[in-house]
Protein backbone atom coordinates (compact mmCIF):
# COMPACT_ATOMS: atom_id res chain seq x y z
CA UNK A 1 0.00 0.00 0.00
CA UNK A 2 1.38 3.40 -1.03
CA UNK A 3 1.51 6.02 1.67
CA UNK A 4 1.79 9.78 1.80
CA UNK A 5 5.38 10.99 2.08
CA UNK A 6 6.30 11.36 5.75
CA UNK A 7 6.03 14.81 7.21
CA UNK A 8 8.55 16.34 9.52
CA UNK A 9 11.30 17.79 7.40
CA UNK A 10 11.22 21.24 5.91
CA UNK A 11 12.24 19.79 2.53
CA UNK A 12 9.20 17.49 2.40
CA UNK A 13 6.84 20.33 3.32
CA UNK A 14 8.36 22.67 0.73
CA UNK A 15 8.15 19.95 -1.94
CA UNK A 16 4.48 19.34 -1.14
CA UNK A 17 3.65 23.04 -1.25
CA UNK A 18 5.58 23.52 -4.50
CA UNK A 19 3.68 20.62 -6.06
CA UNK A 20 0.32 22.09 -4.98
CA UNK A 21 1.22 25.63 -6.11
CA UNK A 22 2.40 24.38 -9.51
CA UNK A 23 -0.85 22.49 -9.92
CA UNK A 24 -2.97 25.55 -9.05
CA UNK A 25 -1.01 27.80 -11.43
CA UNK A 26 -1.05 25.28 -14.27
CA UNK A 27 -4.73 24.50 -13.80
CA UNK A 28 -5.67 28.19 -13.94
CA UNK A 29 -3.53 28.85 -17.04
CA UNK A 30 -4.30 25.67 -18.96
CA UNK A 31 -7.76 25.50 -20.46
CA UNK A 32 -7.19 22.40 -22.62
CA UNK A 33 -9.25 19.36 -21.70
CA UNK A 34 -9.35 15.88 -23.18
CA UNK A 35 -11.97 13.17 -22.70
CA UNK A 36 -11.24 9.48 -23.23
CA UNK A 37 -13.91 6.82 -23.36
CA UNK A 38 -14.39 3.93 -25.72
CA UNK A 39 -17.86 2.90 -24.56
CA UNK A 40 -21.21 3.87 -26.05
CA UNK A 41 -24.06 5.31 -24.01
CA UNK A 42 -26.60 2.76 -22.79
CA UNK A 43 -30.10 3.32 -21.47
CA UNK A 44 -28.92 2.49 -17.92
CA UNK A 45 -26.55 5.49 -18.07
CA UNK A 46 -29.42 7.97 -18.34
CA UNK A 47 -30.55 7.60 -14.74
CA UNK A 48 -27.15 8.43 -13.22
CA UNK A 49 -25.23 10.56 -15.73
CA UNK A 50 -26.72 13.99 -16.33
CA UNK A 51 -24.91 14.73 -19.60
CA UNK A 52 -26.75 12.11 -21.64
CA UNK A 53 -30.27 11.98 -23.12
CA UNK A 54 -32.38 9.32 -24.86
CA UNK A 55 -31.26 10.42 -28.32
CA UNK A 56 -27.61 9.88 -27.25
CA UNK A 57 -28.00 6.11 -26.74
CA UNK A 58 -25.48 4.27 -28.92
CA UNK A 59 -23.15 7.27 -29.30
CA UNK A 60 -19.73 7.44 -27.64
CA UNK A 61 -19.79 8.87 -24.13
CA UNK A 62 -16.70 11.03 -24.73
CA UNK A 63 -18.20 12.62 -27.85
CA UNK A 64 -21.49 13.58 -26.19
CA UNK A 65 -19.85 14.67 -22.93
CA UNK A 66 -17.49 16.99 -24.84
CA UNK A 67 -20.39 18.46 -26.81
CA UNK A 68 -22.51 19.11 -23.70
CA UNK A 69 -19.60 20.56 -21.70
CA UNK A 70 -18.79 22.87 -24.62
CA UNK A 71 -22.42 24.08 -24.56
CA UNK A 72 -22.10 24.79 -20.82
CA UNK A 73 -18.71 26.48 -21.13
CA UNK A 74 -18.24 27.72 -24.71
CA UNK A 75 -14.68 29.03 -24.20
CA UNK A 76 -13.28 25.68 -23.08
CA UNK A 77 -10.96 23.88 -25.46
CA UNK A 78 -12.13 20.29 -25.15
CA UNK A 79 -11.26 17.32 -27.32
CA UNK A 80 -12.56 13.78 -27.16
CA UNK A 81 -11.03 10.48 -28.16
CA UNK A 82 -12.80 7.14 -28.35
CA UNK A 83 -9.89 5.44 -26.59
CA UNK A 84 -9.72 3.35 -23.46
CA UNK A 85 -7.20 4.08 -20.72
CA UNK A 86 -5.89 1.03 -18.93
CA UNK A 87 -3.45 -1.88 -18.80
CA UNK A 88 -4.60 -3.14 -22.18
CA UNK A 89 -3.86 0.25 -23.77
CA UNK A 90 -0.80 1.19 -21.69
CA UNK A 91 1.10 2.97 -24.48
CA UNK A 92 -1.80 5.35 -25.09
CA UNK A 93 -2.33 5.88 -21.35
CA UNK A 94 1.33 6.65 -20.72
CA UNK A 95 1.52 8.96 -23.73
CA UNK A 96 -1.40 10.99 -22.37
CA UNK A 97 0.06 11.17 -18.84
CA UNK A 98 3.65 11.89 -19.93
CA UNK A 99 2.74 15.37 -21.08
CA UNK A 100 3.89 18.56 -19.35
CA UNK A 101 0.70 20.35 -20.41
CA UNK A 102 -1.45 17.83 -18.56
CA UNK A 103 -2.03 19.33 -15.12
CA UNK A 104 -4.61 16.95 -13.69
CA UNK A 105 -6.87 13.97 -14.36
CA UNK A 106 -10.59 13.67 -13.69
CA UNK A 107 -11.80 10.10 -13.30
CA UNK A 108 -15.34 8.87 -13.73
CA UNK A 109 -14.55 5.20 -14.18
CA UNK A 110 -17.05 2.43 -13.62
CA UNK A 111 -14.91 -0.18 -11.86
CA UNK A 112 -12.37 -0.37 -9.06
CA UNK A 113 -9.69 -2.05 -11.17
CA UNK A 114 -9.64 0.84 -13.65
CA UNK A 115 -9.72 3.40 -10.82
CA UNK A 116 -6.74 1.77 -9.09
CA UNK A 117 -4.88 1.62 -12.41
CA UNK A 118 -5.36 5.35 -13.04
CA UNK A 119 -4.53 6.16 -9.41
CA UNK A 120 -1.23 4.30 -9.79
CA UNK A 121 -0.43 5.86 -13.18
CA UNK A 122 -1.21 9.38 -11.96
CA UNK A 123 1.04 8.78 -8.96
CA UNK A 124 3.83 7.47 -11.23
CA UNK A 125 3.54 10.54 -13.49
CA UNK A 126 3.03 12.92 -10.52
CA UNK A 127 -0.37 14.12 -11.77
CA UNK A 128 -3.20 15.22 -9.47
CA UNK A 129 -6.25 12.98 -9.74
CA UNK A 130 -9.86 13.91 -9.08
CA UNK A 131 -11.67 10.66 -8.51
CA UNK A 132 -15.43 10.26 -8.58
CA UNK A 133 -17.77 7.36 -8.94
CA UNK A 134 -20.11 4.96 -7.27
CA UNK A 135 -19.62 1.61 -5.65
CA UNK A 136 -22.90 -0.12 -5.07
CA UNK A 137 -25.02 2.43 -3.24
CA UNK A 138 -21.99 4.44 -2.06
CA UNK A 139 -20.72 7.55 -3.80
CA UNK A 140 -17.06 8.53 -3.82
CA UNK A 141 -15.33 11.81 -4.52
CA UNK A 142 -11.67 12.31 -3.72
CA UNK A 143 -8.88 14.74 -4.57
CA UNK A 144 -5.54 12.96 -4.82
CA UNK A 145 -2.31 14.94 -5.02
CA UNK A 146 0.86 12.78 -5.14
CA UNK A 147 2.93 13.08 -1.94
CA UNK A 148 0.33 15.38 -0.40
CA UNK A 149 -2.85 13.34 0.09
CA UNK A 150 -3.88 9.73 0.49
CA UNK A 151 -4.17 7.78 -2.75
CA UNK A 152 -7.38 6.16 -3.99
CA UNK A 153 -5.84 2.70 -3.70
CA UNK A 154 -4.97 3.36 -0.05
CA UNK A 155 -8.52 4.34 0.82
CA UNK A 156 -10.59 1.61 -0.86
CA UNK A 157 -10.90 -1.88 0.64
CA UNK A 158 -9.33 -4.72 -1.34
CA UNK A 159 -12.16 -7.12 -0.63
CA UNK A 160 -15.09 -5.21 -2.08
CA UNK A 161 -17.90 -7.52 -3.10
CA UNK A 162 -20.60 -5.02 -4.02
CA UNK A 163 -22.55 -5.40 -7.22
CA UNK A 164 -22.75 -2.30 -9.41
CA UNK A 165 -26.28 -0.94 -9.08
CA UNK A 166 -26.41 -0.19 -12.80
CA UNK A 167 -26.42 -3.94 -13.45
CA UNK A 168 -29.48 -4.65 -11.28
The single residue of 5, 18, 90, 166 carrying the catalytic annotation is 166
Give CB contacts under 8 A, 24+ apart, made by 61-69: 61/37, 62/35, 62/36, 62/37, 62/38, 65/35, 65/37, 66/35, 69/33
Q: Tens digits of per-residue pLDDT, 86-143? A: 889 999 999 989 988 888 888 888 788 889 999 999 999 999 988 888 777 778 889 9
Our CA angle for 39, 163, 55, nearest 5°, is 35
Q: Tens digits of per-residue pLDDT, 23-33? A: 555 554 555 67
Taking CA atoms, 4 is separated from 13, 63, 144, in Å, by 12, 36, 10
pTM of the model: 0.70
CB of 83 closer than 8 Å to CB of 94 = no
Verify whether residue 166 is a known catalytic residue: yes
Amino acid sequence: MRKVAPAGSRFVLEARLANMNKFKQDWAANSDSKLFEAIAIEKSNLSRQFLFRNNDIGKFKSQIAAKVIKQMKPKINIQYMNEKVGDDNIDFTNKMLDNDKLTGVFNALDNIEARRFMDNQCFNFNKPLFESGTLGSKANSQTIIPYLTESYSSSVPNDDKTIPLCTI
